[in-house]
Amino acid sequence: MKKSLVLLVVLTVLGGILAGCASQGKQSVLDKITKDGKVMVGTSADYPPYEYVDDAGNKTGFDIDLMTEIAKRMGVELVWVDMPFDSLVAAVQEGKIDMSISCFNYSAERDEQVDFSDAYYTSEDAFLVKSGFAGAIVNPEDVAKYKIGVQSGTVQDDWLTTTLVEAGLVEDANISRYERVDQAALDLNAGRIEVLMADYVPAQALVKQYPDFQVVYHAVLSTGPLNIVLPDGDAKLQAEINKVIKALQDEGFIDTLATKYFSE
């Protein structure tokens, strides 16, 4: 009898706590952001060049600069909340942070928990060759026939490793990995590699720098569109963020950032 009484009390208390979770107001987060004059944005600052800490310990990267500009356009102060990547979606869902920018790709699974902004950037991959290149690249796997260069630790490096090396199409030793893309470009120019795989935006920057270079193939291979994660069902906030993203795209601000971060 006593035991069941204790159990009843415990269940009632637990139920109350859980009900508290469910009964949050449906007010738009945008109103809260405007009222407080600050936006709390989560990121996992361990993914260069999108988000990382510099030697002085400050957050920097493509996403960081972009979000800084978005907050400036919204006229609010930006407060960064660093958190491991796995915790970010739950933190947005529970209202611990207002939104999250951390190189997120849209996925249907995540979409059930949270909402997404429009893509602020679509990361495409490109294959660069020097004029006089005799081969042909019709399918991306065709690069396996040539000497390939890539910046080490990038998503392109990952793609080459999983799609070509692990599939047995090419020996790992045949891929030259460089610390920076510009070093790889020097070797492409010198003929030590035949194909350079890089993000499309910095690849185009390299073509401007080396008139002999040309992009023979570009497509979404390794990353795809990037979106900001927003609270579920908050159309007002979503519309505002999409508006700012659209403006920044039209002004070329985002392409400038991509060149800055993806080619160094």
Partner 1 sequence: MNFSSFIQYIASGTAYTLGVTLVALPSGLVLGVLFALLYVYGGRVVSRLMSLYSTVMRGIPPIVLLFILYFVMSGSVNLSPFWAGSISLGIISSAYQMEIVRGAILAVSGEQMLAARAIGMSTLEAIRYVILPQTLRLAIPPWSNEAAIVIKDSSLVYALGVPEILRRAQLISASTQQPFLAYISAAVIYFALVFIANRLLARLERRLTIPSNP
Binding positions for partner 1, rule: CB under 8 A: 2, 6, 16-18, 20-24, 42, 45-48, 52-55, 57, 81-84, 86-87, 90-91, 93-96, 153
| φ/ψ (deg, to 5) at 73 | -65, -30
For residue 89, the minimal CB distance to partner 1 (Å) is 10
DSSP string across 95-164: TSSSEEEEEEEP-HHHHTTSEEPPPSEEEEEEEEEETT-----SSGGGGGGS-EEEETTSHHHHHIIIII
- Counts of helices then strands in the chain (DSSP H, E): 10, 11
Between 180 and 236, whose beta carbon lies closer to partner 1?
A: 180
CA distance 38 to 30: 10
Between 81 and 165, whose beta carbon lies closer to partner 1?
A: 81
For residue 96, the minimal CB distance to partner 1 (Å) is 6
Between 152 and 162, whose beta carbon lies closer to partner 1?
A: 152
For residue 242, the minimal CB distance to partner 1 (Å) is 27
Between 90 and 247, whose beta carbon lies closer to partner 1?
A: 90
At position 169, the amino acid (one-letter code) is: L
For residue 133, the minimal CB distance to partner 1 (Å) is 31
Structure tokens given for 123 = 């990361």
CA distance 90 to 97: 9
For residue 27, the minimal CB distance to partner 1 (Å) is 14
Between 23 and 131, whose beta carbon lies closer to partner 1?
A: 23
